[in-house]
Homo-oligomer: A and B are copies of this chain.
Amino acid sequence: VKLKKKKACLSLFFSSTALHLIAFLMQKMCSVWNKLITELTRLSHTFLHVPQLHWIVVEDAPQPTPLVTDFLAASGLTYTHLYKLTPKDRKLQEGDPSWLKPRGAEQRNEGLHWLREMGAAAKGKEAAALEEAVVYFADDDNTYSLQLFEEMRYTYRVSVWPVGLVGGMKFERPVVEDGKVVRFHTGWRPNRPFPIDMAGFAVSLRLILTNPQARFDGDAQMGFLESSFLQHLVTMDDLEPKADLVNLELYSLILSSVF
């Protein structure tokens, strides 16, 4: 199988409705490298189906890991490989439950920073193309239906959709009335400013570039990481709901595949 290798470059931005997926990779112990490559392989097979996709991979590491470097180079995807080490006091210690502290804030902010640098350097047609692009925070342990990327591609500010869950509540979703999101159906702390999973929203690059102060707060309380970012950008009234919920079967298909 011959896969063309393409590195990210400014010409990418000539394409309208490009999707920039920012993914952070936790620092892994050696014993779980097979698991990491497994997850990345599966993701790459999904991403290879998606037109105009740019994968921004940010490792929680002091320098790029050779295994990840080699994987990305062989993947056939358009990618940017970054790294940002989480400060020691914020890192999860071995034995800590995984929900203990927000994870990936520094790495997602590093991805945002890279996009903002690109935005500042862009001129003319490139700059115009940036107006159309969309940013999605895609973690490596999720599964994405291909329809999802088409739903998010046309995002003016922030779009949202249902997210299927494995274990616990079957899904979380926006509740829509008259085409507007009025609240979220979720099993946990529905009174958060944005009670939504990282996988449940996408943001227009235009909004990110025009709001340079918008970033993830690494000190945010558990479950509030998404809110710490979104509150800089939109109100609930501005949200654009995707994945038409009239057809329940379709709803289940999109839903169950994204968690």
Contact = CB atoms under 8 A, between A and B. Distances in A.
Interface of A: 1, 3, 32-35, 37-38, 41-42, 45-46, 48-49, 70-71, 74, 143, 145-147, 149-150, 164-166, 170, 249, 253, 256-257, 259
Contacts of A249: 70
Given A1-B147, A45-B46, A146-B45, A166 B256 contact: no
A34 B256 contact: yes
B34 A146 contact: no
A117 B234 CA distance: 60
A33 B256 contact: yes
Contacts of A42: 42, 45-46, 143
A32 B256 CA distance: 10
B1 A146 contact: yes
Contacts of A256: 33-34, 37-38
B166 A38 contact: yes
Nearest to A71: B253
Q: Is the interface of A mostly helix, strand, loop or mixed?
A: helix
**Number of identical protomers:** 2
Nearest to A171: B34
A153 to B, nearest CB: 11
Contacts of A149: 1
13 contacts: A1-B49, A1-B146, A1-B150, A3-B146, A32-B166, A37-B164, A37-B257, A38-B256, A38-B257, A41-B257, A42-B143, A45-B45, A45-B49
Nearest to A1: B146
B41 A145 contact: yes
A75 to B, nearest CB: 10
A41 B256 CA distance: 9
A147 B1 CA distance: 7
Contacts of A48: 49
Given A38-B164, A38-B166, 5 more contacts: A3-B146, A32-B166, A34-B166, A38-B257, A38-B259
B165 A34 contact: yes
A38 B147 contact: no
7 tightest A-B CB contacts, nearest first:
A37-B256, A45-B46, A38-B143, A41-B257, A34-B256, A1-B146, A45-B45
A208 B249 CA distance: 39
Contacts of A45: 42, 45-46, 49, 146
